[in-house]
A and B are shown apart, each in its own frame.
Chain A
């Protein structure tokens, strides 16, 4: 199975900061990576699909990049509502799917 290693597992940041979260796949997966945001007590929300495509309705401060094994989610200017946990997910071949371990973004 393809493993997704997400880093860091947690971070503290301030409103207005530029933030980057990384996911590394255990093998090349082209651009089959999706990113989600989850707030406490809520289901995850899709932010980015196919590595860099912004889901409809998601603010443009969110962006994704990468291909092969290394992927990043960037928040250009952190807003108060962005404090949450973020997950990557690989969907290579749509056979078996895997989520990363999550990154918790907290207020500094």
Chain B
């Protein structure tokens, strides 16, 4: 059974850097065909894909946020970390991590999400 859990601050100030962790079980990021992605959802709005990373350390980023995002993995800890720089109130959202099925590029298991608010 695949499980994922997001953790990180619930409140950040404008211009600060957000660091979110996704810890998971039920799969290994050292296994071919495995990936983990990040998706966010502002309150009452649609889903927005941010980034994903595959077992071979192949990384992809949203074009509109690429300059602000970094995704890394720690295979030994079963953890994926997303950093987003220069946070703004418009970045207030629930941030989800999810297991990516390589090939179809679908997100077949999701964490419960963590709400991050950006406010001074």
List the interface of chain A (C-beta within 8 A of B): 1, 32, 34, 36, 38, 42-46, 49-50, 53, 55, 87, 89, 91-92, 94-102
Identify the 7 closest CB pairs spanning chains A and B, nearest first. A91-B105, A43-B110, A34-B106, A49-B106, A97-B49, A99-B47, A94-B105
Total interface residues on B, CB under 8 Å, equals 25
Shortest Cβ distance from B112 into A: residue: A43
* A102 with B52: CB separation less than 8 A: no
Chosen A-B contacts, 29 in total, with CB atoms closer than 8 Å, are A32-B105, A34-B107, A43-B110, A43-B112, A44-B47, A45-B110, A46-B106, A46-B107, A49-B101, A49-B108, A53-B104, A55-B108, A87-B46, A87-B47, A89-B49, A91-B104, A91-B106, A94-B60, A94-B103, A96-B60, A96-B63, A97-B52, A97-B105, A98-B49, A99-B47, A99-B48, A99-B49, A100-B46, A102-B46
- Contact flags (1/0) for B86-107 with A, using CB distance below 8 Å? 0000000000101001111111
In the complex with contacts A34-B104, A34-B106, A49-B104, A43-B46 CB distance below 8 A: no
Chain B contacts with A in 65-120, Cβ cutoff 8 A: 96, 98, 101-108, 110-113
A38 to chain B, nearest CB (A): 8
Shortest Cβ distance from A101 into B: residue: B46
List the interface of chain B (C-beta within 8 A of A): 37, 39, 46-49, 52, 60-63, 96, 98, 101-108, 110-113
Residues on A with beta carbons closer than 8 Å to the beta carbon of B37: 97
B98 to chain A, nearest CB (A): 8
